[in-house]
């Protein structure tokens, strides 16, 4: 069984046991979070699509850790005008493992 869920403005196709890096959640490591924004649920014999979400469907995920992603450099400049701006950014993430898909 798999599900297509939405969190942090992104969509993920998940199965039980998958490990994901998603946008940062406000949950402690070791706790369980429930995601109710399920767009579709599929199994071997059926496929259910919501409008926009599937009723009574949820995904339970266990929070493993929080962290920051790889640094990216944002560099702005205008040629011949002595305008240079360098800025770095590290996006925060939450690492979760999918425990259960409920329908």
* HEC-encoded secondary structure of the chain: CEEEEEECCEEEEEECCCEEEEECCCCCCCCEEEECCEEEEECCCCEEECCCCCCCCEEEEEEEEEEECCCEEEEEEECCCCEEEEEEECCEEEEEEEEEEEC
What's the pLDDT at 103?
Answer: 82
Contact 12, 20 (CB under 8 A): yes
What's the pLDDT at 44?
Answer: 84
What's the pLDDT at 96?
Answer: 96
What's the pLDDT at 48?
Answer: 87
Q: Average the pLDDT over 61-88 and give the result.
A: 97
Average pLDDT of the chain? 94
Full residue range of the structural domain in which residue 28 is found: 2-102
In total, how many domains does the chain have? 1
Residue showing tokens 């940062």: 24
pLDDT tens per residue, range 32-68: 999 999 999 998 888 989 888 999 999 999 999 999 9
């Amino acid at each position: 069984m798999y599900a297509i869920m939405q969190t942090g403005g992104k969509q993920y196709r998940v199965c039980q046991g998958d490990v994901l890096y998603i946008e940062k959640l406000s949950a402690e490591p070791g706790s369980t979070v429930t995601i109710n924004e399920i767009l579709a649920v599929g199994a071997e014999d059926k496929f259910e699509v919501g409008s926009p979400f599937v009723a009574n469907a949820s995904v339970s995920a266990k929070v493993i850790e929080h962290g920051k992603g790889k640094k990216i450099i944002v560099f702005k400049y205008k040629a011949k005008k002595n305008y240079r701006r360098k800025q770095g950014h590290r996006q925060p993430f939450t690492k979760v493992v999918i425990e259960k898909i409920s329908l």
